Structure 1
Amino acid sequence: MAKKWAFRAILAYALLGLILYAYLFYIAGSGVPESFKGSSADPSTFMNAKEILLSEDFSKIKNLLFFLSTPYEWLLYFLIMILGVSRMFEKWAKGTVKNGFLQTAIYLFWLSITTFIAIFPFQYISYQVSKAYNISTQTFSMWMKDETIDFWVNYLLMLIIVSVLYGLMKRFKQRWWLAAWALSVPFTIFMMFIQPVLIDPLYNEFYPLKNKELEAKILSLADQAGIPANHVFEVDMSEKTNSLNAYVTGVGSNSRIVLWDTTLEQLTDDEILFVMAHEMAHYVEKHIYIGIGIYLLLSFFGLFLASKLMRGIVANYGEEIKVDRVASLRSLPLFLLIISVLLFAVSPFSNWISRYQETRADRYAIELTQDKEAAITSFQKLSKVGLSQVNPPLLVKIFRYGHPTMLERLNMLEQYKMDTKEKEDPAESSP
């Protein structure tokens, strides 16, 4: 029975892969509508023919990898359960030590190693594709260093979470999800507080912005926006990527304004000020706190659904998936599978919220800087350097885009210009 279920799952994944490939490479269109030809949103106005071709090819490959990787994760968790691998890891852990925390650490280590090895091909292909299209500048050793850091950071965080979660499952058999959610509130806020000062520096070196003249302009902009900032941080990303980025991270006194050195090298000061004004908008409009609130709300219902689904699946199919009870460590792949499916299912909604916030941030940045030309050219450069599609397929936008498409953003900027002009014309024609 287990082999039959495993075969069917693998076959279903293969068929899904073929459907996704056909959709992304042959069915879905990503060209610019005729009405946008010649506008600032038309790639031919800021990319040459080769760059347009490369952006299409690169985006299709990355989109395919994205849509294949998540179901692959589901398949992996399913196979780990149904083939008895998770049960074997639990037996190894219990047969090695008697301490419950150490058993969890051993079980989680074997599960983490297994998933890391199984998912590694996707990670490596993604890295090689980025290298081939001149997006990534990392050497293999540098890339592996980041992957190793990722593994241990995720392992340590998961060890804390899983130890607490399964402790709650044993103590509160019916309401463990509610206790877990209650503890997730302070944990989430704590992680956002320490992320900029403890975790981010593990991957990159942060230092005060070298260009003091530009820093003064950014801090002046921050002052206009009412953001309490004394420094702007620069991070050396050119040794890893050619992509551009800037962001405001952290909460409270640990908030940071951060610029990638690639952004400093490839954007003008006016374009950088627009990008920073956009990032400042998230702080001003409290998008970080709204995001925390939405996340906690979704996690409340997510944990509730996970508890119901786990109980029902274990009760009806426990023998087939080799899980005897919900509170057993061997049920962790089932929990991770359910959470991953729920996160994917809710991603269209969370992405829609994010796109709405990003649109508001774009408008705020225009109003703060009063420089729409810099806004347009900065978005064009972001598309060109990142080889991103200006008008991605609908499913890609729904499931992958937390930002509006470049077509939407650039069109909004052009419309904003036309609206401004229309408001000025009556005054110019009045006696």
Structure 2
Amino acid sequence: MRKWIAGAGLAYVLYGLFFYWYFFMSGDSAVPEAVKGTQADPASFMKPSQLAVAEQYSDVKNFLFFISIPLDWFLFFVLLISGVSKKIKQWMEAAMRFRFLQIIGFVFVLSLITALVTLPLDWIGYQVSLDYNISTQTASSWAKDQVIDFWISFPIFTLCVLVFYWLIKKHEKKWWFYAWLLTVPFSLFLFFIQPVIIDPLYNDFYPLKNKELESKILALAEEAYIPADHVYEVNMSEKTNALNAYVTGIGANKRIVLWDTTLNKLDDSEILFIMGHEMGHYVMKHVYIGLAGYLIVSLAGFYVVDKLYKRGVHFARNLFHVEGRRDLGALPLLLLIVSVLSFAVTPFSNAVSRYQENKADQYGIELTGDSEAAVRTFQDLAVTGLSQVDPPFLVKLFRGSHPSIMERIQHAETEENTSEHPASEQGDDQ
């Protein structure tokens, strides 16, 4: 056991050292020759001091991201091989008579251990954001968000585990398929309630206050044949100086949301481009496509998890102190497999997201007819958020849900400003 834990610990340390070298010692932030002197060149809109700070901040945040991912894997492995997971199961069995109560207790202890182990890295990430003036959130507010996170994730996680053990008991061979079938209405339910129940737990949402800007957005929405009753602003300035806007929810609960920092720091033309971008997501049904894609990929994922979990329990039964797939003590093994697979498919999901974001950028430019506003928006996003204009390859691969700022500016520069655009034609399908 000690050798296995020592080996896993050494692997984690070497992994961390690699990414330390990758971000802090080997990074090449030189701007490509073809970009120098263009609007995509960070030197054209950022001061040297801003560039240096953006590089430092991005390197630290990226490093924290990459070392936090396998920390969960290491924790699950240690819980298994040390026998701690088995002991927790035995405590639950001794304390509670009913199986479902044992599962709830086990999941609570496991969730608490995971939260406590990952808390230091989360705290460091929060402090880094404070130090670089990205976060404005107080420590008490940050702690409150952590508590909310726990009490939202714990019941959902518990429900998933209860359903898993019930299915694997009733349908041991086909549990993965029935589990996937249940994720369809469950995912739709979460998409539906998130904007009206979950998101307001963290921040206050209200209709756009600037009525003059609202009328411009409504006119833009009318031009694109989009229902214009889903524009909200949220008081993110209490927590951050970064800029953002997004689309969330489905059906009647769909919302287009603007952070108040975006409203305070961008001019109307830039905000209208952002709205055009978000309207592009709506018109091209990216939320629904993303949900459908998730369900398709998750079907394959459940199948692979079933095969790996079965083999993992069979080959490491003695090593991991588990009695079989129905053993509650084997839950960390299942979570380890799910976490690794989720991380492995991240490049694929990011590639799809980047494609959609690029299409939404194009739509926003065509709808507003103002590519210069798009360029200024991307530049402001980089300056305010201390973003790397051209991040390293591994960051693009595993964190790049959007094209890089450099790519987005280059795309905007190549878009033609025309008064005629396909928005109305696409809007006829709504």
What TM-score do the two structures reach when normalised by structure 1?
Answer: 0.95
1:226-265 residue CA offsets vs partner (Å, 9 max, x unmatched): 2223252111010100000111211000011211110000
Q: Which residue does the alignment assign to 1:89?
A: 88
What's the counterpart of residue 293 of structure 2?
294
1:326 is paired with a residue whose SS is: coil
Instruction: Indicate conservation of the 8 Å contact 2:205/2:234, yes or no.
Output: yes
Q: Which runs of 5+ in 1 are unaligned?
A: 421-431
Which one-letter code corresponds to 2:269 in the other structure? D
Partners of 1:247 and 1:276 within 8 A in 2: no
Q: Do the aligned residues in 2 keep the contact of 1:215 with 1:231 (CA within 8 Å)?
A: no
Instruction: Give 1:111-126 correspondences, 5 Å limit.
Output: 111-126=110-125
**C-alpha separation in 1, matches of 2:205 and 2:123:** 26
Bigger drift between 82-91 and 260-269 goes to 82-91
In structure 1, C-alpha distance between the alignment counterparts of 2:228 and 2:165, rounded to whole Å:
41
2:257 is matched with 258
8 Å CA contact 1:6–1:79 kept in 2: the answer is yes
Tell me the residue number matched to 2:336: 337
Q: Write the distance in 2 (CA, Å) between the matches of 1:73 and 1:79.
A: 10
Mapped to 1, the partners of 2:234 and 2:379 lie a distance apart of 23
Q: For 1:134 and 1:272, how far apart are their aligned partners in 2?
A: 23
Letter in 1 for 2:328: L
* Residues 1:144 and 2:146 aligned together: no
Q: How does 1:146-161 map to 2 (within 5 A)?
A: 146-161=145-160
- Structure 1 runs (4+) greater than 6 angstroms displaced: none
State how far apart, in whole Å, the 2-side matches of 1:352 and 1:308 are: 27
SS at match of 2:247: strand
Q: Equivalent residue for 2:272?
A: 273
Q: CA deviation at 1:207?
A: 1.0
Alpha-carbon distance, 1:203 to partner: 0.4
Give the Cα–Cα distance (whole angstroms) in 2 for the partners of residues 155 and 333 of structure 1: 15
**Letter matched to residue 133 of structure 1:** Y
Q: 2:308 corresponds to which letter in structure 1?
A: L
Aligned residue for 1:317? Answer: 316
Q: Matched residue of 1:379: which SS?
A: helix
Quick check: 1:247–1:258 contact (8 Å CA) kept in 2?
A: yes
Shift of 1:381: 0.3
1:14 equivalent to 2:13? Answer: yes
Partner residue in 1 for 2:395: 396
Deviations 1:174-220 (A, max 9, x none): 11111100100111011000100010011011111111111121122
CA contact (8 A) 1:219 1:231 kept: no
- Asked if 2 retains the 8 angstrom alpha-carbon contact of 1:250 and 1:256, the reply is yes
Residues 335-354 of structure 1, C-alpha deviation per residue, up to 9 Å, x if partnerless?
Answer: 11111111111111111111
- Give the Cα separation in 1 of the matches to 2:35 and 2:125: 32
Identify the residue that residue 427 of structure 1 maps to in structure 2.
none
Shift of 1:120: 0.5
Q: CA RMSD in A?
A: 1.3
* Secondary structure of the corresponding residue to residue 30 of structure 2: coil
Contact 2:369 2:418 in 1 (8 A): no
Percent identical:
52
Gap runs ≥5 in structure 2: 420-430
1:241 counterpart residue number: 240
Cα–Cα, structure 1 residues 231 and 294, in superposed 2: closer, same or farther, change >3 Å?
Answer: closer
Q: Deviations over 1:360-398 (max 9, x none)?
A: 000000000001111100110001000010001111101
Q: Output the amino acid matched with 1:222.
A: A
1: CA distance between counterparts of 2:418 and 2:269? 22
Q: Please report how far the alpha carbon of residue 418 of structure 1 lies from its aligned counterpart in structure 2 after TM superposition.
A: 9.3
Aligned residues: 419
CA distance in 1, matches of 2:247, 2:132: 28
**Range with bigger deviation, 25-34 or 158-167:** 25-34
CA distance in 1, matches of 2:417, 2:152: 49
Q: Which residue of 1 aligns with 2:62?
A: 63
Matching residue of 1:163? 162
Residue 330 of structure 1: how far off its partner (Å): 1.5
Displacement of 1:310:
0.8
CA–CA separation in structure 1 for the residues paired with 2:352 and 2:257: 23
Decide whether aligned partners of structure 1 residues 419 and 229 sit closer, same or farther in structure 2, where only a CA change above 3 A counts.
closer
Question: 2:257, 2:45 → 1: CA distance?
Answer: 27
Task: Give distance in 1, aligned partners of 2:345 and 2:287.
Answer: 19
For residue 31 of structure 1, report the CA deviation from its aligned partner: 2.6
Secondary structure of the residue aligned to 2:227 is coil
Contact 1:78 1:333 in 2 (8 A): yes
Deviates more, 1:87-96 or 1:259-268: 87-96
Aligned to 1:36, the other structure's residue is in SS state coil
Name whichever of 94-103 and 118-127 sits farther off: 94-103
Give the whole-Å Cα distance in 1 for the aligned partners of 2:404 and 2:338.
28
Query: Is this contact kept in 2: 1:355–1:402, CA < 8 A?
Result: yes
1:94 offset after TM fit, Å? 1.5
User: How many Å separate the matches in 2 of 1:311 and 1:330?
Assistant: 14
Give the distance between the partners of 1:331 and 1:389, measured in 2 at CA. Answer: 41
Any idea what the Cα deviations from partners look like across 1:11-33, whole Å, max 9, x if unmatched? 01101111111111222323321
**Counterparts of 1:158 and 1:219, CA distance in 2:** 40
Matching of residue 131 in structure 1 with residue 121 in structure 2: no
Question: For 1:31 and 1:416, how far apart are their aligned partners in 2?
Answer: 26
Equivalent AA in structure 2 for residue 128 of structure 1: Q
Q: Is the 8 A contact 2:230 2:254 kept in 1?
A: no
Following TM superposition, by how much is the alpha carbon of 1:332 offset from its aligned partner in structure 2, in angstroms?
Answer: 1.5
Q: Which amino acid aligns with 1:49?
A: P
Distance 1:45 1:185 in 2: 47
How many angstroms apart in 1 are the aligned matches of 2:221 and 2:215?
10
Q: TM-score, normalised by structure 2?
A: 0.95
Secondary structure of the equivalent of 1:94?
A: helix
Question: Does 2:424 correspond to 1:415?
Answer: no
What secondary structure does 2:237 align onto?
coil
Query: How does 1:345-356 map onto structure 2 within 5 Å?
Result: 345-356=344-355
| 1:31–1:391 contact (8 Å) kept in structure 2 | no
CA distance in 1, matches of 2:393, 2:62: 12
